[in-house]
Amino acid sequence: MHKKLFSWFLAFTFAAFAAFAVSAQENPGRAAGVIKVAKVTGQVTAIKDGNTITLQVGSEISQGYVVNTGNDSSVVLAFSNGATINLAQDSSLSIDEFLQDPFGDEVSFSSMTSEPSVSTTKLNLSRGELVGNVKKLNADAGSTFSVQTPVGAAGIRGTTFRIIFRPDGTGKAFFSLTTVEGNVVLFSGTVNMPSEVEVPDNREVEVLIDVQTDPNTGVTTVTAGPDAQVVVTIPPAATMAEVIAAAQQALQSVVNVAFPPTTPRDTGGPSGDTGDEGDDGTGDGGDKNNTETGSPPAAATAPKTTPGDGK
């Protein structure tokens, strides 16, 4: 009796394992997406697992890195899902998550109008300013793109936008969200702010809030929201011109950037690095890319740096 039960158990286990293997082949897990550095001005570093590297054109990073820009410094990041981020001076951006399904053909920014495969992107701007351009997302298949700030998370629907969060050192912080085209939804966790604010084409929301910054960690938390009602307005022409210029600068910088096709066994890195994320795509992409800079893209005309702190 016990032998029959044991034999049945072995047969069941083998069948279950075989079914799981087939399922894994048919539905490969997402791998860590690749982020290439397309332009650097001044001093820009990236930190992961306590290791700091200096970024230069051609460097590759992935999820888990925190990118920091110094004074009079900026960096343009090109994501393998077609997004670009132009990070201005004195800013800190964490790549909390960037996962992407494999894609079969080489993708280049010069011809991309939508993302090549389903992706999940979660960024965190703890201070500073960024201008982003996100290609059309395959939202129906589950693609998402968000930028977290101390004020709340901005859900990007495929658009050109700017986000600023700047503490002024006096217990106050200035926050703004501006869209050039497309739609952004601000999901706020801030005191006295609406839980959801929609910012459509050519609109802007500005907020002045009370904050507290930990002197040891530098982490800023919101202590009180705005006293006045949060209003979505039409931004000044000068503001829109700044955002458009920064977005165009990024697009000029990435015109020669391309990503080779990936497979279920590939981590999405152009260098073929297998990383340490395994087949489930939940890892951090390994540490090999910490020191590799890859082949820099062809030189592009260098326009002006992203406008200061946006104030």
- 203-257 pLDDT, tens digit each: 999 999 999 988 888 889 999 999 888 999 999 999 999 999 999 999 999 999 9
Q: According to the model, what pLDDT value does residue 280 have?
A: 39
Is the CB of residue 266 less than 8 Å from the CB of residue 275? Answer: no
Q: Of the ranges 122-131, 160-169, 295-304, which one carries the lowest mean pLDDT score? A: 295-304
In angstroms, the CA 69 to CA 80 distance is 22
Q: Compare 26 and 145 and report the one with higher pLDDT.
A: 145
In angstroms, the CA 158 to CA 125 distance is 18
Mean residue pLDDT of the chain comes to: 81
Q: According to the model, what pLDDT value does residue 36 have?
A: 98
Is the CB of residue 66 less than 8 Å from the CB of residue 94? Answer: yes
Split at pLDDT 50, 70, 90, the class of 157 is: confident
pLDDT, average across residues 5-16: 39
Is the CB of residue 70 less than 8 Å from the CB of residue 42? Answer: yes
Strand residue runs (E) in 9-151: 31-32, 35-41, 44-48, 51-54, 60-61, 66-69, 74-79, 84-87, 92-100, 107-108, 119-133, 144-148
Q: How many CB atoms lie within 10 A of CB 127?
A: 21
| Alpha-carbon distances, residue 53 vs 75, 128, 156, 160, 310 (angstroms) | 14, 20, 29, 29, 27
Split at pLDDT 50, 70, 90, the class of 40 is: very high
Split at pLDDT 50, 70, 90, the class of 263 is: low
